Structure 1
Amino acid sequence: SDVILVYCYPKTIITRIPECPYGWEVNQLALGGVCYNGIHDSGYYQFIIPDLSPKNKSYCGTQSEFKNPVYHFYNSIVSNDSSIIVKSQPVNYSFSCTYNANYLVNQAAFDQRYVFWECSSPCFQHRISLIQKLCYILRVATVHVKNGSSGSFESQLSLNFYSNAKFSSIKEAPFIVETSEIGSDIFAGVEAKGLSDRFKVVLNNCWATPSSEYFYQIHWPLITKGCATDNSILVHENGKTSRATFQFNAFRFRNIPKLSKVWLHCETHVCDSEKFSCPV
């Protein structure tokens, strides 16, 4: 009777206790002392907090607090008998769920490739002599998606590309950026799906590297402390909704190997808008 199972999902908390703890029936147990919403399920009594941000701000007495960098949600299942005498030992099953607020989201962005062609006609104004006369075409090419982060919300976060500044259509990966398109706009964003409405996505820092290592010495900062690092970068939304979006110009790193990738990295904060002013 002293066992409690707690499942902490990104938006929902499910708690299960063995049936008939100390003789109590499910209709005598209350979530937060106020909600008699338990159900009998396969030898357990199950109680559900369906949304961490209900309209009345607290579902059945659920309390929350933020101890940087972790969110804590608390509640309990207690016995409540309105009869004159109590024949069973009172019970109080307290439980909590913790959620990390900060994540590092990584994405492999561009393949950088040099493609050589035999020159029957000029393809650039200059030519390169190797064993035979050749000219080269540079492509900033295929975009691959690889999301990564840490903590309880990690499966809900993704870094996506979009077709335009409306951010209404996700651009399928991979896609190719031709040489003539260097300097054109690339639209990107970090989105959290399936979280409670109270949580907003904030981009603290975003940068690009020619390596999957986020701390690689060669890097180009895009967003620093929530702000664009230069006039070629535009932050559209940050901390207002479950998605933060920005755009930057297509580029390439100089003096790279014949084939390499450019990686994007974003330090992302999931902000509780019920407790903090989230927009940066």
Structure 2
Amino acid sequence: MLTLLIYMLVILSQALAGPCNPNKADVILVYCYPKTIITRIPECPYGWEVNQLALGGICYNGIHDSGYYQFTIPDLSPKNKSYCGTQSEFKNPIYHFYNSIVSNDTSIIVKSQPVNYSFACTYNANYLVNQAAFDQRVATVHVKNGSSGSFESQLSLNFYSNAKFSILKEAPFVVETSEIGSDIFAGVEAKGLSDRFKVVLNNCWATPSSEYFYQIQWPLITKGCATDSSILVHENGKTSRATFQFNAFRFRNIPKLSKVWLHCETHVCDSEKFSCPV
């Protein structure tokens, strides 16, 4: 009997609560992450409850969180290619993802002003990664940010111990004189991105300086292709990792203990829109 009374009191309190207090702040907060987009609008916009607002006019997946209504696009590449009406386009070199949160009440009459919160995230497709490869007896990441979102923290230039690229090798490492000509295995990997994005190496080169534009340099990969027969490109544009190998070397007239730096211009390719392998 007590349980029934408590239940009736809850129902009565909900009935007396009435609509939320209208908020007329035209604000939308957008967070562009490498794989996810989160949007937040102040609660009760123009009197609309969270269950009356739809992402893309399709998905009523908003939640009430600390004074805001929050909507999430959890993956930029779901199996149906378009999560809740999310659209995308590529305008070189920028990827654009956009959607909207709209009022979509199914009642016979509408008592609140309709709302439409449009939002977009943009991501740069081209990046420069570099890493101190080895000491000459013979990777730290630098990335150009996109305007709103970035794949920056997801990209890394790594070195490996074998041709299977299964064991990471700490860099910089020492190449003894006797090891000049031995194989060095390297790759650029993206972690945490949507499966639709593939890593493409456009150009890779080595310098005796951390400056990628240093005048002394040895090209390894140019326009996606190895520059000579001693360089082997294993994968490029097929997965979230592009890998290659080359022979250890030293620059002439450079102090023996100076470092060799490896630089790669990397493109994050949308495989749903383009043929990524080069």
TM-score w.r.t. the length of structure 2 is 0.87
Higher helix proportion (structure 1 or 2): 2
Q: 1:42 to 1:147 in 2, by over 3 A?
A: closer
Contact 2:131 2:141 in 1 (8 A): no
Q: CA offsets per residue over residues 66-102 of structure 1, 9 Å max, x none?
A: 0000000000000011111100000000000000000
Return 48-57 or 162-171, whichever deviates more: 162-171
In the TM superposition, 1:67-216 aligns within 5 A as 67-113=91-137, 140=138, 152-216=150-214
- 3-state SS in 1 of match to 2:169: coil
1:61 and 1:265 map into 2 onto residues whose CA distance is 38
- Retained in 1: the 8 A contact 2:121–2:149? no
Residues 230/149 of structure 1: CA separation in 2 closer, same or farther (3 Å cut):
farther
DSSP-derived class of the 1:265 partner: strand
For residues 149 and 182 of structure 1, do their structure 2 counterparts lie closer, same or farther at Cα, with a shift above 3 Å needed? farther
The 3 A distance-change label for structure 1 pair 145 and 167 is farther
How far is 1:198 from its partner?
0.2
Residue by residue, what CA displacement relative to the aligned partner does 1:191-230 show, whole Å, maximum 9, x if unpaired? 0000000000000000000111111111000000000000
Task: Note the C-alpha offset of 1:172.
Answer: 2.3
Against the structure 1 CA distance between its residues 205 and 151, is the aligned structure 2 distance closer, same or farther, given a 3 Å change threshold? farther
Q: Which runs of 5+ in 2 are unaligned?
A: 1-24
Given that residues 185 and 248 in structure 1 are in contact (C-alpha distance below 8 angstroms), is that contact kept between their aligned partners in structure 2? yes
Instruction: Give me the CA root mean square deviation.
Output: 2.9
Structure 1 residues 79 and 236: CA distance shift in structure 2, 3 A: same
| Length, aligned pairs only | 254
CA distance in structure 2 between the partners assigned to 1:148 and 1:96 by the alignment: 13
Residue 30 of structure 2 corresponds to which residue in structure 1?
Answer: 6
Distance of aligned partners of 1:150 and 1:202 in 2 relative to their CA distance in 1, 3 Å threshold? farther
Q: How far has the Cα of 1:258 moved from its partner?
A: 4.9
Assess, with a 3 A threshold, how the Cα gap between structure 1 residues 150 and 26 changes in structure 2: closer, same or farther: closer
Q: Quick check: 1:9–1:152 contact (8 Å CA) kept in 2?
A: yes
- Distance in 2 between the 1:141 and 1:77 partners? 40
- Assess, with a 3 A threshold, how the Cα gap between structure 1 residues 86 and 141 changes in structure 2: closer, same or farther: closer
Q: Per-residue deviation at 1:146?
A: 15
| Cα displacement (A) at 1:143 | 15
Q: Retained in 2: the 8 A contact 1:209–1:264?
A: yes
Distance 2:114 2:142 in 1: 57
Asked whether the 8 Å contact 2:132–2:172 carries over to 1, the reply is no
Kindly tell me: are residues 6 and 275 of structure 1, through their superposed partners in 2, closer, same or farther at Cα, counting changes over 3 Å? same
SS at match of 2:84: helix
Q: TM-score, normalised by structure 1?
A: 0.86
Contact 2:99 2:118 in 1 (8 A): yes
Structure 1 pair 277/34, CA: closer, same or farther in 2 (3 Å)? same
Task: List structure 1 segments (4+ residues) > 4 angstroms apart after TM superposition.
Answer: 141-151
TM-superposed CA distance for 1:51, in Å, is 0.3
1:40 & 1:12 partners in 2: Cα distance? 19
Partner residue of 1:40?
Answer: 64
Unaligned runs of 5+ in 1: 114-139
Q: Secondary structure at the match of 1:270?
A: strand
For the 8 Å contact 2:203–2:223, the answer to whether it is kept is yes
Is the 2:135–2:175 contact (alpha carbons within 8 Å) kept by the matching residues of 1? no
| CA shift digits 1:159-217 (9 cap, x unpaired) | 00011110111112343222111100000000000000000000000000011111111
Q: Distance in 2 between matches of 1:150 and 1:2?
A: 20
Task: Give % identity.
Answer: 96
